[in-house]
Structure 1
């Protein structure tokens, strides 16, 4: 029996398999959210929504390289007429998809105290998490004319009730598991032992998990799952392991990961036979000064250069971009 929980480690038998012609593919996910101070306190009402010109530029860029992004939108984005116009147009033209991302501190109802603990939706009481989620789902259906099929918990904050909630809401895919990362020190979930391969959460195979792709690279990468969490407690040791090409953790994101690092990570993922590479970044990074990763115009240029290089290399390695719709159609139930 599978655990029917997104927090539990999956059984080996739960590994998802895809039709033979699926091959190896990539999915670009964009955590599409309001601008806020990443170093400040969480606030239900103080945020910005200035990103839409930058988002339009990015959508044009993505179409130019043949990629259909998945915009995982939260409440402020779902309520924005400009987002509805921009992203709704892309969805209608078949060049983008819409999913859900729950930031509980900006998502009504605002009944809970806004705290770091409660910033993880999965930490909320089941009824509160459900009400926030359902309001977001209904808003997306109403404002964008589509039923979202993929979810990512803001701050990767899954909880014991999330899997049941997603199945009740008719959402087929979760992509909240950030494998090989541990957020337990800040009230979040420890995903350090979760696999990076897609897997079924429940025995009925109604909920598919697509973990964000993070690999270990280096001579000691086979020992990475055991060694890296221990080495990370000692920054000097971790740095030495990386400089000596012994062990490095590489997430497939332009945020804090260089192009060369990402290319090494892609080689590992492809050579290990990973069927789906899940890439991600946050939409405020498309503007200067809104995240720690894009502080100036050079950083913004680097983000676009990263995407160009990564998708050119994926094409060279015969890894095609895919969509949520194609994944649902191709996974073997």
Structure 2
């Protein structure tokens, strides 16, 4: 059946109609607020930033972009989120997907630990039960059956693909290519491509990885060189400052607009057909993430998107949706 972390064969890469690519997709990890430096806990979180989803939705609509909200259980069961997003979702101005944070998602049958914060590390029946509860809550409260999934903390496991297929998920976007989370108990996506591929047979489950590129004169050596520098962050910093080698994920969190535009150009040079952007919804309100601490940071966050949307438009990269991706790839 295949796993998300299995390197795909060359003939497993998704083929696209000539008039489709390149496109871009904005994904939002739509989740509760919690202390990123504290141990994981089933309680004690807040949902203050849910009220800002409407602001971001209106911003995207003005730009002609339909964001994908990958929703976890606390947000899925918060009436305010459904009130804000239900109409845009029904009208096709937004889409919803599944994001599983197991530590706040029933059934709570596991010990909450860092290892168990990766849903794929849980026993298959428990991962399946948590996913089913979340998917049902999303469809019930937002009026749309989700067709896309991202594991919280990118925590896929050996049973994940079967669970997704059994629940009608067509697209997984858990792979953060060119990142390795195995030291903390997660998965290693370092050697996976940034081009979408089929997990198992073509036309089944598509992997749509988050877009990360290497930039700089040494970028062709990035897949080999960058992982060797994980013990030497200062050297990585030196290479970045010298503009020799930089790893650029397409996100406003910790990445400047200038870096993101360089990343866009690298992705287009690599002929990436769908550029996948992402961020965490708590960044929509100051004080919840390391990336948006003040009102000035929030203003810069929105300016980042204005700059990136303009750069994409100048390069002829149009926004897309999960529905369009499924149709272009002829997914059922």
TM-score between both structures, scaled by the size of structure 1: 0.98
Superposed CA RMSD in Å reads 1.0
8 Å contact from structure 2 (residues 51, 81) kept in 1: no
1:112 is aligned to 110
Q: Report the number of matched residues.
A: 331
Residue by residue over 1:19-75, the C-alpha shift from the partner in whole angstroms, topping out at 9 and shown as x without a partner, is: 111020000000000111111111112110111331111111110111100000000
* Corresponding position of 1:280: 278
Match of 1:295 in 2: 293
Say if 2:64 is the partner of 1:66. yes
Distance 2:327 2:301 in 1: 31
SS in 1 for 2:66: coil
The answer for unaligned runs of 5 or more in structure 2 is none
- For the residues of structure 2 that align with 1:274 and 1:332, how far apart are their CA atoms? 19
Given the alignment, which residue of 95, 98, 113 partners 1:97? 95
How many angstroms apart in 1 are the aligned matches of 2:233 and 2:120? 30
Q: How does 1:112-191 map to 2 (within 5 A)?
A: 112-191=110-189
Aligned pair 1:8/2:6, yes or no?
yes
Residue 31 of structure 1 contacts residue 73 of structure 1 at CA under 8 Å; is this kept in 2?
A: yes
Aligned to 1:240: 238
Answer yes or no: is the 8 Å Cα contact 2:254–2:291 preserved in 1: yes
Matches within 5 A, 1:24-39: 24-39=22-37
User: What residue number does 2:264 align with?
Assistant: 266
SS at match of 2:278: strand
Whole-Å separation in 2 of the counterparts to 1:144 and 1:57:
18
1:168-225: CA deviations, max 9, x gaps?
1110000000001111111100111111100001115310000000000000101100
Question: Is the CA contact (8 Å cut-off) linking 2:102 and 2:117 kept in structure 1?
Answer: yes
Deviating 4+ runs (over 2 angstroms): none
CA distance in 2, matches of 1:298, 1:181: 30
TM-score where L is the length of structure 2: 0.98
How far does the alpha carbon of each residue in 1:94-131 deviate from its partner, in whole angstroms, 9 at most, with x for none? 11000000000000000000000000000000000000
Whether contact under 8 Å (1:18, 1:332) holds in the other structure is no
Flag structure 1 segments of 5+ consecutive residues without an equivalent: none
CA distance in 2, matches of 1:332, 1:99: 19
CA distance in 2 between counterparts of 1:212 and 1:94 reads: 22
Q: Distance in 2 between matches of 1:137 and 1:236?
A: 42
